[in-house]
Amino acid sequence: MSVHNAERTLRQTIESVLAQTYQDFELIVIDDGSTDSSLSIMEEFSKRYPDKIVLITNSPQLGLPASLNRGIDKATGTYIIRMDADDICDKDRFERQVSFMDSHPEIGVSGTWAKILDENPAHAKRLWKNPARDIEIRTLLFFTCCLLHPTIIIRRDVLEKHGFRYDESYVSAQDYELWSRMIWHTRFANIAAPLLTYRVHAQSTTSTKATTQQENSKKIRKELLEAAGLAPTETELALHETAKATEWRDRSTFLKEKEVWLLKIKSCLEKKYGEDRATASQFAKIWLSICIENKGLGLGVWRAYWSSPLSRLTPKNLVRSISLFNDK
């Protein structure tokens, strides 16, 4: 856990870790140049729990990826579990994640769902869900990061075998960048249960580094597509990042161009991974979401979805597609 000026939430976070039902762990906390009382709080806990807490200090501040790399280098356990200084663990989080990894030796990286605690009173609490199966995650990583960083457990020997560390040039989206390299060497999973409360507030990375995160994510997706053997053109890269016809060069041809591009990616991934119903299902969801995003184009969008080889007739897709009749 890297900490920088987190005095407001830090006690609750550390207490949620120490209260785990699974107790065979050490908590490595890295103070990254805090100027508030965070270091004092960590020192207090490390004195109370000297056999449980390992404290590392950075001076000057190194940033999150470098701090996490220091933690990885210090770790000796079979697994490395991530935690942020403003989130809250469910008491059985470690027990469930360790049990899952013990039972699935093929999985190198696994996350969980999370409860969202948004401190903006205008926003309601909600659930952050991600796909559970490896093939679903592998497919979706070409479009978005679908592993929530502070819920992650990583098999340490996978990191050591391939020399994986966070790329310290990525001040944001460093987790997505790491998964984009690990995708070719291990398998992924998510436990379909919320085992973490993820706090969103004005100082969180989600709020403060959104633009940088978007730009880094675009770069990561470009490199993933190239690593898969697609060699996308600048036009295709722009199309990959565009969801609305109103943002495209030719509004009238957007859906057809988007469909052709998605089919090209789907074909490429099926050649690499083998055909799988989960891959087809993910592309159907992506295609339906694109169509819903553009339902203002008229009823032709409904026909575009169902006439495409990307579509899949499932009860859920059928229900969602009804919204295509509403152009508002």
Task: Give the β-pairing of 126-128 and 53-58.
Answer: unpaired
**C-alpha–C-alpha distance, residues 143 and 123, integer Å:** 26
The domains of the chain are located at 2-211, 228-325
C-alpha neighbours within 13 Å on the C-beta side of residue 196: 29
pLDDT of residue 205: 56
Tens-of-pLDDT digits for all 328 residues of the chain?
A: 999 999 999 999 999 999 999 999 999 999 999 999 999 999 999 999 999 999 999 989 999 999 999 999 999 999 999 999 999 999 999 999 999 999 999 999 999 999 998 877 666 668 999 999 999 999 999 999 999 999 999 999 999 999 999 999 999 999 999 999 999 999 999 999 999 999 987 665 555 578 999 999 999 999 999 999 999 999 999 999 999 999 999 999 999 999 999 999 999 999 988 888 889 999 999 999 999 999 999 889 999 999 999 999 888 888 888 888 775 5
Q: What's the CATH number for 2-211?
A: 3.90.550.10
